[in-house]
Structure 1
């Protein structure tokens, strides 16, 4: 049974990332000219701040240096987080995106933009924003009906904490 370099790297690095309190989301090895780049994407339920990224980067670098997992050639290690418009693939991704606006590509090629309200083992409950003054509507999406889902960036969305603070100031 043959395993790819990415699979071998995942087996080597995932326990180390987990020990740092993070989830290993992606591993990608790219060739850039004569050099190779190892991109490692990590995250957690609370997010990963710069200190956590730096800590896990140092730990991964040390582990890679003591093994021959990347071979003898030069490579660059890049460690980061999934980014603002992450694709939702795992159940935990949907849970982490609760409260966020998501663009869903549904199995029948329909698109839907809605806010995730709750997540369970079978699917997600979402709120579809109202159009032209109409009230938002609730909808249930089963995971099996979702072909693709990606978090959308919202530049002027008020955070629930901000709304609560504003209500307290008005009172």
Structure 2
């Protein structure tokens, strides 16, 4: 049994899970360990890498979950019994890091700026020096990241990826 050095349970879990997530090509977004009666609940949040567009599929998430479970069993960073929950950030995650904005490219977003105004549209590019948001067809506004107070992806039931004829495979 290999026990990580940290005394914080979440940090011990993070030390075990980080290499597993990286080996799967994923980003370890968050780790929470909380008591739940006689057990603990270990919540792991995984995401795709910085430049990936789309969602983490269930097969990849399932495989990563099995690998994480095996690594936690081998290292035993959580004392006693625990329930493991492995998930993705979901669409309600606020966009707070450049990586989050890059992952949200092609998505409909709402940015609330520090002056109280909002920018609403499709995020077409995200770089450290600015976010490009298409607010209307052919109209792209560049937003300075330092001016963004809050940002979130808006849920769309259907999203057309191209301008040509569409079949079911073209819809989000």
Task: Flag whether TM exceeds 0.5 (same fold).
Answer: yes
Q: Show the counterpart of 2:18.
A: 14
Q: Show the counterpart of 1:153.
A: 155
- Quick one: which of 70, 80, 98 aligns to 1:62? 70
Residue 99 (structure 2) pairs with residue 98 (structure 1): no
**Structure 1 pair 34/113, CA: closer, same or farther in 2 (3 Å)?**
farther
TM-score by length of 2: 0.79
**Structure 1 pair 78/138, CA: closer, same or farther in 2 (3 Å)?**
same
Cα distance between partner residues in 1 of 2:11 and 2:149: 24
Q: Which structure features the higher share of helix residues?
A: 1
**Structure 1 pair 31/107, CA: closer, same or farther in 2 (3 Å)?**
farther
Instruction: Please list every run of 5 or more consecutive structure 2 residues that lacks an aligned counterpart in the other structure.
Output: 1-5, 168-172
**Structure 1 pair 34/21, CA: closer, same or farther in 2 (3 Å)?**
same
- The number of residues matched between the two structures is 158
Following superposition, the deviation at residue 37 of structure 1 comes to: 1.2
Instruction: Please list every run of 5 or more consecutive structure 1 residues that lacks an aligned counterpart in the other structure.
Output: 130-134
What's the RMSD between the two structures over aligned residues? 2.3
**Structure 1 pair 109/33, CA: closer, same or farther in 2 (3 Å)?**
farther
Secondary structure of 2:99's match?
A: helix
Following superposition, the deviation at residue 136 of structure 1 comes to: 6.8
Cα distance between partner residues in 1 of 2:41 and 2:116: 35
Residue 58 (structure 2) pairs with residue 50 (structure 1): yes
TM-score by length of 1: 0.79
